[in-house]
Chain A
């Protein structure tokens, strides 16, 4: 898209407006760093070592499942590297193990706890463990990743559908618009939460089915906005000129009208992302979200509520959720400033 050509003074002004909002600008970088760091979560928090040297050979257990017999153990099953027995086997033949920063995965249960689970923060489990003895720090990292990825996927899917629907309604107008608007009103009247709860009791939702279900109800967010932009733009002279040239409707929509609608759409996106993350967290909190055992922030908050004697659960969940949503909101504000035509960079 040409909007990102830096030679374009409009883009330059938008970028400088974005930078002028210091809070949003730094939030953007902070969020980007957090996202990029948690994206390869398996390299940061994992119960499988990154690299094992054993008997002159190199192994990468976080990528490949090696049976215990590969290290002269007894079982054909995958080696449990946290087992002191396996560690001894490896050390016995001049081997060494490189562990990730946090040697726990989101589902690793630490059986060697000083106190019954949930156990408070220690040097071993930085943020303590949850009620099943799983490392909270590891679960937060995975939980953050899945929240953001889910939010991004939901935002992307609902934007694509919403923009397409809004474009068709706004561009053609008339009966198509009228009928689609009424259909949207009916659809918007469906109580989403109840539907999700009912469906969650029928099928156990996976990441993808939950995404699909939520897209069904969230795609309507952008329709009104895009529709209004298309209604406004479709009578512009350059659209009429394109029609006089014999350009097809589809090309007119994509090349001439959509770039106009993109400004308001992009302004909205961070807030839709925010909403998606919140919805997922809320569903997880209620227990109707991702399948049991998934690393989810909502589930951690729920544990925090159920275990008030273990405040580290609630606090760490709260801090991560609050920080993530605040960052997204600040970014959204900066994006809004960037696209504000009346705003001059200071």
Chain B
């Protein structure tokens, strides 16, 4: 008998008088001690499936038209609250994606870890405290023991995720459900957390249901895999079998869509289109009543870069390394010191009016396609706004034509230009954001994590689109990303940033194949092979 047996499970949501079938009859099982990965793109129903196991879906909006979930022989679907409480957090635990919001900010770390112990095991205060220390040891947070009375905001993202894992392991569950537990973390931290989970599994013998969209993680981490698409499991089996010999078209598509390839070589010897010299963005730290400046947060601290036409300069680094600040400073969207020259002309000190003609030639695409489009404007207005500002395209009809052409260029149907952003998917929205930049025929584009919020297969398409646009229009890109695979697929030249400074710089090939500094090596190993620091 399997530990968990899900049979023909369906989940239906009632939304505004309609039904949405999020999961349409999936069956899988997990044996003791094994790791099963549920992979799929956003909206495939993988998280909903996982939440059903603990019956955590919102009632009465969600219902199960069919299906059975048997945990250790006991039926979960329709079980009463008492039975469920005995399972939740006791036999089955869950860790969530977002460590920043899944800990209660008003309770101390100790209280949060001790809660399941006191609830399910009926432990006393001192026994619980001893167990909390033991658990923190287990998840590799022995340096936190002195800070048990601290609140979650004093911990980093990786530390919080470890606390979450400690909470989940408190009662030695038989099954751990991990819903994208590393997606919100930096790559080096991600590698550490995965290693920790693997070690803990070996030591405690628990089964793990791992939900992710990241195929690299599946390949290195799971025993078996279920590929989900549109509420159905389209393929399942041993990881090696599925990855080496995918049967279903969707699996093949998913495997083929990992960003790959290298960019076309950039022409040599062209004069740099954009150059910075010792660019600095320092935010003052104020103290006391008069906000006297006592120091600075050096977000960007003396950076020199040069971007040539048809060339992509990749900027990589972990969160907080100053990558995005650098991009915003170059576009003069935040104040900075040091030299910025575009086409030989200094940008520093130009006022709004003088800068305006140059804005046409320097554009930006942001990370989050949901946040970067004004929700109350039609696509035509969003894409055409720059044209209007710069008096391009003549009248309304001329602008419509240009907007239509830009939409065609990024692979969207121009007939949809009078719709609103919410009618488009994430990938389509990112295409709209790209069209907004491209319609002005810029020469230099800052791409601030343009693929990070997108599904894997969409990422590959966007990378392809950006490469084609670069070739067609001789564009210079500054490509900011923490995703090294995408950077490798796009960049000619790479800058590795840490704490506002450049740690290493060189051609993409040199950086990826033979990183010289220790930090760059750590980053590469973590990002490309999910390995922790080689020492």
A→B interface (CB under 8 Å): 2-3, 8-10, 13, 236-238, 240-248, 251, 255-256, 259-260, 344-345
Among the listed A3, A13, A238, A246, which residue makes an inter-chain contact with B374, where contact means beta carbons less than 8 Å apart?
Answer: A238
Question: Is B210's CB within 8 Å of the partner chain A?
Answer: no
Closest chain-B Cβ to A235's Cβ sits at a distance in Å of 10
Question: Is B508's CB within 8 Å of the partner chain A?
Answer: no
CB <8 Å contact, B368 and A345 = no
Residues of chain B with a CB closer than 8 A to A256's CB: 374, 377
A-B contact pairs, 6 of them (CB 8 A): A238-B371, A240-B366, A246-B386, A246-B390, A248-B352, A255-B385
Among the listed B15, B333, B373, B376, which residue makes an inter-chain contact with A2, where contact means beta carbons less than 8 Å apart?
Answer: B376
Interface positions, chain B 318-377, Cβ under 8 Å from A, are 328, 331, 333, 352, 355-356, 359-360, 362-364, 366-368, 371-374, 376-377
CB <8 Å contact, A245 and B374 = no
Closest chain-A Cβ to B237's Cβ sits at a distance in Å of 40
| A237 with B367, Cβ < 8 A, contacts A246-B359, A246-B386, A344-B16 known | yes
CB <8 Å contact, A243 and B333 = yes
Question: Is B420's CB within 8 Å of the partner chain A?
Answer: yes
CB <8 Å contact, A245 and B376 = no
Residues of chain A with a CB closer than 8 A to B380's CB: none
CB <8 Å contact, B368 and A237 = yes
Interface positions, chain B 403-428, Cβ under 8 Å from A, are 420, 422
Q: In the bound complex, how far is the Cα of B420 from the Cα of A255, in angstroms?
A: 15
| A247 with B371, Cβ < 8 A, contacts A3-B376, A344-B16 known | no
Closest chain-B Cβ to A254's Cβ sits at a distance in Å of 12
Residues of chain B with a CB closer than 8 A to A251's CB: 389
Q: In the bound complex, how far is the Cα of B327 from the Cα of A244, in angstroms?
A: 11
Q: In the bound complex, how far is the Cα of B328 from the Cα of A123, in angstroms?
A: 78
Among the listed A8, A236, A237, A344, which residue makes an inter-chain contact with B420, where contact means beta carbons less than 8 Å apart?
Answer: A8
CB <8 Å contact, B372 and A241 = yes
CB <8 Å contact, B390 and A255 = no
CB <8 Å contact, B359 and A238 = no
Q: In the bound complex, how far is the Cα of B352 from the Cα of A221, in angstroms?
A: 33
Residues of chain B with a CB closer than 8 A to A242's CB: 374, 385
| A237 with B371, Cβ < 8 A, contacts A13-B16, A245-B389, A247-B385 known | yes
Q: Which residue of A lies closest to B17 (CB)?
A: A345
Q: In the bound complex, how far is the Cα of B377 from the Cα of A241, in angstroms?
A: 14
Q: In the bound complex, how far is the Cα of B352 from the Cα of A255, in angstroms?
A: 19
CB <8 Å contact, A245 and B440 = yes
Closest chain-A Cβ to B384's Cβ sits at a distance in Å of 10
Residues of chain B with a CB closer than 8 A to A236's CB: 371-372
Residues of chain B with a CB closer than 8 A to A247's CB: 385, 389
Question: Is B433's CB within 8 Å of the partner chain A?
Answer: yes
Among the listed A238, A244, A255, A344, which residue makes an inter-chain contact with B363, where contact means beta carbons less than 8 Å apart?
Answer: A244
CB <8 Å contact, B364 and A345 = no
Q: Which residue of A lies closest to B418 (CB)?
A: A7
Q: In the bound complex, how far is the Cα of B366 from the Cα of A243, in angstroms?
A: 13
Residues of chain A with a CB closer than 8 A to B373's CB: 238
B→A interface (CB under 8 Å): 15-16, 328, 331, 333, 352, 355-356, 359-360, 362-364, 366-368, 371-374, 376-378, 385-386, 389-390, 420, 422, 433, 436, 440
Residues of chain B with a CB closer than 8 A to A238's CB: 371-374
Closest chain-A Cβ to B323's Cβ sits at a distance in Å of 15
Closest chain-A Cβ to B242's Cβ sits at a distance in Å of 37
Residues of chain B with a CB closer than 8 A to A244's CB: 331, 333, 359, 362-364
CB <8 Å contact, B372 and A237 = yes
Q: In the bound complex, how far is the Cα of B389 from the Cα of A145, in angstroms?
A: 45
Known: A237-B366, A241-B364, A248-B389. 18 other contacts (CB 8 A): A10-B422, A13-B16, A236-B371, A237-B367, A237-B368, A238-B373, A240-B366, A242-B385, A244-B333, A245-B359, A245-B363, A245-B389, A245-B440, A246-B359, A246-B389, A247-B389, A251-B389, A255-B385
Closest chain-A Cβ to B432's Cβ sits at a distance in Å of 11
Q: In the bound complex, how far is the Cα of B371 from the Cα of A240, in angstroms?
A: 10
Closest chain-A Cβ to B362's Cβ sits at a distance in Å of 8
Q: Which residue of A lies closest to B374 (CB)?
A: A238
**Among all A-B residue pairs, the 4 with the closest Cβ atoms:** A246-B359, A237-B372, A259-B376, A245-B386
Q: In the bound complex, how far is the Cα of B16 from the Cα of A245, in angstroms?
A: 38
Closest chain-B Cβ to A302's Cβ sits at a distance in Å of 47
Closest chain-A Cβ to B357's Cβ sits at a distance in Å of 8
Residues of chain A with a CB closer than 8 A to B333's CB: 240, 243-244
With a 10 A CB-CB cut-off, give which of B16, B331, B374, B377 has the most chain A CB atoms. B374
| A241 with B366, Cβ < 8 A, contacts A246-B390, A255-B377, A256-B374 known | yes
Q: In the bound complex, how far is the Cα of B452 from the Cα of A237, in angstroms?
A: 15
With a 10 A CB-CB cut-off, give which of A10, A244, A247, A344 has the most chain B CB atoms. A244
CB <8 Å contact, B436 and A345 = no
Q: In the bound complex, how far is the Cα of B108 from the Cα of A23, in angstroms?
A: 46
Residues of chain B with a CB closer than 8 A to A245's CB: 359, 363, 385-386, 389, 436, 440
Closest chain-B Cβ to A301's Cβ sits at a distance in Å of 44
Residues of chain A with a CB closer than 8 A to B371's CB: 236-238
Q: Which residue of A lies closest to B381 (CB)?
A: A255
Closest chain-A Cβ to B292's Cβ sits at a distance in Å of 17
Residues of chain B with a CB closer than 8 A to A260's CB: 376
Q: In the bound complex, how far is the Cα of B359 from the Cα of A259, in angstroms?
A: 25
Residues of chain B with a CB closer than 8 A to A8's CB: 420
Q: In the bound complex, how far is the Cα of B388 from the Cα of A248, in angstroms?
A: 12
Q: In the bound complex, how far is the Cα of B436 from the Cα of A3, in angstroms?
A: 23
With a 10 A CB-CB cut-off, give which of A240, A245, A247, A260 has the most chain B CB atoms. A245
Q: In the bound complex, how far is the Cα of B355 from the Cα of A83, in angstroms?
A: 77
Residues of chain A with a CB closer than 8 A to B16's CB: 13, 344-345
Q: In the bound complex, how far is the Cα of B374 from the Cα of A260, in angstroms?
A: 9
Closest chain-B Cβ to A165's Cβ sits at a distance in Å of 22
Residues of chain A with a CB closer than 8 A to B360's CB: 246
Among the listed A13, A240, A259, which residue makes an inter-chain contact with B364, where contact means beta carbons less than 8 Å apart?
Answer: A240
CB <8 Å contact, B355 and A246 = yes
Among the listed B355, B390, B436, which residue makes an inter-chain contact with A241, where contact means beta carbons less than 8 Å apart?
Answer: B436
Q: Which residue of B lies closest to A2 (CB)?
A: B376
Residues of chain A with a CB closer than 8 A to B362's CB: 244
Closest chain-A Cβ to B170's Cβ sits at a distance in Å of 33
Residues of chain A with a CB closer than 8 A to B440's CB: 245
Q: Which residue of B lies closest to A236 (CB)?
A: B371
Q: Which residue of B lies closest to A244 (CB)?
A: B364
Closest chain-B Cβ to A171's Cβ sits at a distance in Å of 14
Residues of chain A with a CB closer than 8 A to B420's CB: 8
Closest chain-B Cβ to A130's Cβ sits at a distance in Å of 51
Residues of chain A with a CB closer than 8 A to B364's CB: 240-241, 244
Closest chain-A Cβ to B14's Cβ sits at a distance in Å of 10
Residues of chain A with a CB closer than 8 A to B436's CB: 241, 245
Closest chain-A Cβ to B365's Cβ sits at a distance in Å of 8
Q: In the bound complex, how far is the Cα of B385 from the Cα of A163, in angstroms?
A: 24
Closest chain-B Cβ to A140's Cβ sits at a distance in Å of 42
Closest chain-A Cβ to B47's Cβ sits at a distance in Å of 21
Closest chain-B Cβ to A341's Cβ sits at a distance in Å of 12
Residues of chain B with a CB closer than 8 A to A246's CB: 355-356, 359-360, 386, 389-390
Q: In the bound complex, how far is the Cα of B391 from the Cα of A247, in angstroms?
A: 12
Residues of chain B with a CB closer than 8 A to A10's CB: 422
Q: In the bound complex, how far is the Cα of B421 from the Cα of A236, in angstroms?
A: 15
Closest chain-A Cβ to B266's Cβ sits at a distance in Å of 24
Q: In the bound complex, how far is the Cα of B389 from the Cα of A255, in angstroms?
A: 13
Q: In the bound complex, how far is the Cα of B440 from the Cα of A3, in angstroms?
A: 28
Q: Which residue of B lies closest to A346 (CB)?
A: B17
Closest chain-B Cβ to A255's Cβ sits at a distance in Å of 7
Q: In the bound complex, how far is the Cα of B369 from the Cα of A236, in angstroms?
A: 11
Q: In the bound complex, how far is the Cα of B422 from the Cα of A241, in angstroms?
A: 18
Closest chain-B Cβ to A2's Cβ sits at a distance in Å of 6
Q: In the bound complex, how far is the Cα of B250 from the Cα of A152, in angstroms?
A: 60
